[in-house]
Amino acid sequence: MPGYQHLWKDGTPVHLPLGKIVCIGRNYAEHARELNNPVPSEPLLFIKPSTAATHITRPLELPRDQGQVHFETELAVLIGRPLTNASASEAELAILGYGLALDLTLRDLQTKLKEKGHPWERAKAFDGACPLSPFVPADKLPRDNIHFTLDIDGRRQQTGDTRDMLNTIVPLIAHMSSQFSLLPGDVVLTGTPKGVGPLESGQTLSLELEDVLFVETKVL
C-alpha cells in the first residue's frame, strides 16, 4: 500500500524497492489438516501484489462485509539478489533478511473459490493483506532452526519452527526461482503453522521471532 518501505529492525530503510510477495500454501502438514486440506506433493505457490503490503505495526483495518478474515503468521524472507533457476547455494546467498508477516485471508471467500476450482487471489491479495515486520539481517538467525510465535491478547496462538516445514527455506526459494524470477526487494512467505483463526475487533497481536524481533499490532 502507499507509504510502505522495507525497514531494518533499527528503523532504517532497506534500500530496495518493494516487489512481489511470493507465498506457499500448506507448508506445515498440521495446518493443512486443520483446514481439512490435503498435504500437497509439490509446493503450492501463489503471489500477493505489492499493494498487499503494509507495516505490521499499523492497526489492522479489515475488509468489511466479506466474511471472516483469518490470520496466518509466517516467517518472511527478504530477497537481496536476482534469482532465476537458482541453485541452492545461489538461493542461500540471496537471503538478505528475515522478518514476520501476517498472511491475511478472506476465509469464507477462499472456501467458495476452492470449491469452484478458482484461484485464491481474491481472498489473499486485497489491499493490506500482507502486514510485514521490519527485517533482521540474515546472519543474525540460524537458517535451519528458526522459531516464531503469535500471541493474541496475551495467549499463545501459533508456534512455528522451520524444522517442521515440508519445504525448507533454501530449496523453496530455489524452486520458486525456477517458476518465475525473484528480484531484490521481493519477499517470500514460507507458510503458516497450525492455529489459524478469525480476527476480531479490539484484539492485540504480539509476534516474536526468536529473541531478536518483537512486534505488536491491534485490530481496529
The pLDDT tens digits for 56-88 are: 999 999 999 999 999 999 999 999 999 999 999
pLDDT for the residue 2? 58
The pLDDT tens digits for 133-192 are: 999 999 999 877 999 999 999 999 999 999 999 999 999 999 999 999 999 999 999 999
- The DSSP code sequence of 141-210 is S-TTS-EEEEEETTEEEEEEEGGG-SS-HHHHHHHHHHHS-B-TT-EEE----S--EE--TT-EEEEEET
Parallel/antiparallel/unpaired status of strands 69-71 and 197-198: antiparallel
Domains and CATH numbers, the chain: 21-218 (3.90.850.10)
Return the residue matching grid coordinates 526459494.
173
Cα distances (Å, whole numbers) of residue 11 to 3, 159, 213: 14, 26, 12
